Amino acid sequence: MATQSPKPPINKGLEGLVVADTQLSEVDGEHGRLIYHGYEIADLAQNATFEDVAYLLWMGQLPTASELQDLNKRMAANRLLPDGVLDILKSLPTSTVPMDVLRTGASALGAVKKIDGKATLEDAIALTAAFPTIVAAFQRMREGKAPIAPRADLSHAANYLYMLTGSAPSEQKTRALDTYLVLTADHGLNASTFTARVIASTEADMCSSVVGAIGALKGPLHGGAPQLVLDMLKAIGTAENAETWIRNALNRHEKLMGFGHRVYKTEDPRARVLRKLADQLTEVEFFKLASTVEDTALRLLHELKPERRIYTNVEFWSAAVMHAVGLPDDLFTPTFGCSRVAGWTAHVLEQQSDNRLIRPASEYVGPWNLKVAPIGQRT
């Protein structure tokens, strides 16, 4: 009698499975390293702009001065939203969740600009350039104000802040936001990037892949965490209240936002950079609160869960930095999207270059041999 072949083990959440090779980024969770195409993230954060990093992800090398100038021109030329996209944004209720606005605006942009067929670098530039305009335009609309047209003479980060407020931002705020965008442009095969690559593997267009990625980024276990970090800090209120609040939360088995990571088993290298920025940017009392919460949370987590390797992740200090540059709480995740779209589009181009349809298997655990009863006999 033939024996059944043993079934392969199930890796819930695909944990530990390698499903693609990539030249774009490496997340070294054991040693707390993040590398974009060979460059350490701390080096890029200190010495490169978001535009540099977008070019690096798309083209595989940092741009020369003339290449960067050309990219800046192409980005600036794609910032202005077509009238049809603005009309759709204007039709949305002002109570619409900003991530839903970004998803809707990106989809509309793909339809109006006819982003279809094989993905191209031009598609990547068009979507990346327009994302801040979508977010800023809706923010102005829900404030009862007219959207502000983008400026071609400003950097990606500076133009975003300008379109939100109507005033050119300070160098300090621009640099802080630009650094944040550099730090979060790509991060291996995270949920949203994997979603983009799955869609790209079907030979769908670039915009479809990116819209799907936005949907994945919206979730609180992925891109939605920074806003929840700020909610937590506001609930704690003062540095003196940190230990009591955190102990009570852990005793209720609640998750502390901004701590722990699926890959990093030590401190997230992006958190180190953002902590320094927060120290420079935030008010003294806010930084005291955030740093006390971080220290207390880490101490209690290691005390109560010694078997777990839980450290600060990027979302904790992202919340502090985005708060300091003046972004409304519910724009934190869309701003994450304005950065990560560079990585998404780079992964779509990479997937397309050596494509195979992504189609994992599942193990059926439901019943067998059921029979359909007539409608009158079903209970």
* Catalytic positions, written as ranges: 261, 315
As a whole number of angstroms, the distance between CA 133 and CA 156 comes to 10
Q: In angstroms, rounded to a whole number, what is the distance separating the alpha carbons of residues 9 and 99?
A: 36
Using CA atoms, how far residue 364 sits from 10, 12, 357, in Å, is: 11, 14, 21
Q: How crowded is residue 178: how many other Cβ atoms within 10 Å of its Cβ?
A: 24
**Angle subtended by helix axes 206-217 and 332-353, to nearest 10:** 140
3-class DSSP state of 339: helix
Q: What share of the chain is helix, strand, coil (3-state, %, to 5)?
A: 60, 5, 40
Alpha helical stretches, state H, 92-241: 98-112, 121-142, 156-165, 171-183, 191-201, 206-217, 225-236
Euclidean distance between CA atoms 286 and 145, whole angstroms: 30
Neighbours of 135 (CB within 10 A): 25
**Which residue in this structure is represented by tokens 């390698």?**
18
Residues whose CB falls within 8 Å of the CB of residue 290, separated by 6 or more in sequence, listed in order: 233, 278, 282, 316, 317, 320
Cβ contacts of 167-173, under 8 Å, gap ≥ 24: 169/325, 172/280, 172/281, 173/281, 173/324, 173/325, 173/326
Give all strands of the β-sheet with 39-40 in edge-to-edge order. 25-28, 33-36, 39-40
**Whose CA is closest to 81, among 142, 162, 139, 135?**
135
